[in-house]
Amino acid sequence: MILTFFTYFAALLIGHAVADYSLQGEAIAKGKNRHNPPFGIPTGQKPCSVWVHFLTAHSLIHAGFVWAITGYGIFGIVEFILHWLIDFAKCENITNPHQDQLLHVACKAIYAIIIVAYLT
């Protein structure tokens, strides 16, 4: 049981590290914050609020990792919602980067606990 928890938890943390660091380029990192100038708007086009697209895409990447690792689509859906809200809070300066990462890690721990306690 403990081994199963740590196996899922470690895999989820690795997936998080890949999605949050390796796969999050400058465009997403800057573009997901609504307080930054619009990212990727060609010169001459009217600026629009594209931040929601960047934040949503970033959250979908995380959701995909969680779903693939756990095998449960519901965890992917929950991850999408929570990751979106947690990153939005960071962009709004409600949380800082350390709190942001702590909340993400807590989500992964909770998924692993639920899998071990109820689904295995």
DSSP alpha helix (H) spans, the chain = 2-17, 26-31, 51-70, 73-91, 97-114
Q: Quote the pLDDT of residue 47.
A: 65
- For residue 34, count other CB atoms closer than 10 A to its CB: 15
Which tokens hold the place of 26? 């400058």
Q: What is the pLDDT of residue 38?
A: 77
The single-letter DSSP state of residue 33 is: -
Give the Cα separation of 71 and 65 in Å (integer). Answer: 10
> Which of 69 and 49 is assigned the larger pLDDT?
69
Residue 42 has pLDDT above 80, yes or no: no
